[in-house]
Amino acid sequence: MNKTLLITGGNGFIGSNFIHYFLKKYPDYRLINVDKLTYAGSKANLREVESFENYHFIQGDIADESLMKSIFSIYDISGVIHFAAESHVDRSIENATSFIESNVLGTTTLLQAARESWEMKGELATRRFHHISTDEVYGSLGTDGKFNEETPYDPRNPYSASKASANMLVKSFGNTYGMNIVISSSSNNYGPMQHEEKLIPTIISKSLKGEPIPVYGDGKNVRDWLHVQDHCRALDLIFHQANPTETYNIGGGNEVTNIELAMKICDILDHLNPENHSCKELIAFTKDRPGHDSRYAVDDTKLRKKLGWAPTVDLDTGLKNTVEWYVEQWELTTQQSL
């Protein structure tokens, strides 16, 4: 059995964590990682695996049709796990074009290259295309309820609209061509190697620099937080065990408001670096983001019951370990710059 997987966006936050997880668990697989290396992707995230014989990196754009076709021609790709995406809401509000190019055109180009290759091999129904999505495609919740896999898409910003579009395209390839596709949508991820523009790294970095910690609006927007390692375990199960055309939600079961999250992180930082004042004093409420979704929460009952998954990292422990990792990285960077 061929075990060569194409990973897209593997130098990003979730992708790099997944590659570390996957290579450690499955040394018999070969991973081909294609990443454009935009601002959000870093070669440093995968420095430890660069020399592995079963890992190969290709710098490139998934929207590059000739490159995608050549990869499927050169390598006998048995499956795709598609992480690559523009993912920052604020950036999508400022300029939606790059999100359409990457998330919609890029996904289409990748789907087409996979379909043509696998169809020619007569294995379109057996080789798997796993698309990584987000709970943001469902829109916004009130104080009650959760999104489930049957919830209609209702994206509220260009980023989530581009991901909803990509989801629909993936589904269409399953329906039209009989392609073996699966889609997973997760809650907000956190953990090591996340780009500084995201909420948790922003809170930590601003605190360490003694700068104002920006919190949108009144800070009462609610998010469910999922540790990236629990997400990796879920993706592993879905890729290997889910039935074709299935969609799964992945939740962390950790709903907190943004201001509660900032307070938790400040408590950890204050304990690590006790000073005369708390970093909570740095919290500064800023003008709210346009179209800011009130609350996200997913019902992951299907994943728990059908595939036996459950998160193992509780929020307090996960946040503590995450903050400690970023503090250590900040200290190393500071020492190297001296």
Which residues does the annotation mark as catalytic?
135-136, 159
Nearest Cα to Cα of residue 48 among 73, 22, 20, 12:
20
Nearest Cα to Cα of residue 79 among 249, 314, 230, 241:
241
- Is-contact 100 137, C-beta < 8 A? no
Rounded CA-CA distance 319/204 in Å is: 11
Rounded CA-CA distance 155/135 in Å is: 10
Order across the sheet with 79-82: list the strands. Answer: 55-59, 30-35, 4-8, 79-82, 128-134, 180-186, 247-250
- Is-contact 6 32, C-beta < 8 A? yes
Rounded CA-CA distance 223/133 in Å is: 16
Beta-bridge mates of residue 23: none
- DSSP readout, 88-137? -HHHHHH--HHHIIIIIIIHHHHHHHHHHHHHHTT-TTTSEEEEEEEGGG
Helix axes 65-74, 107-120, angle to 10 degrees: 30
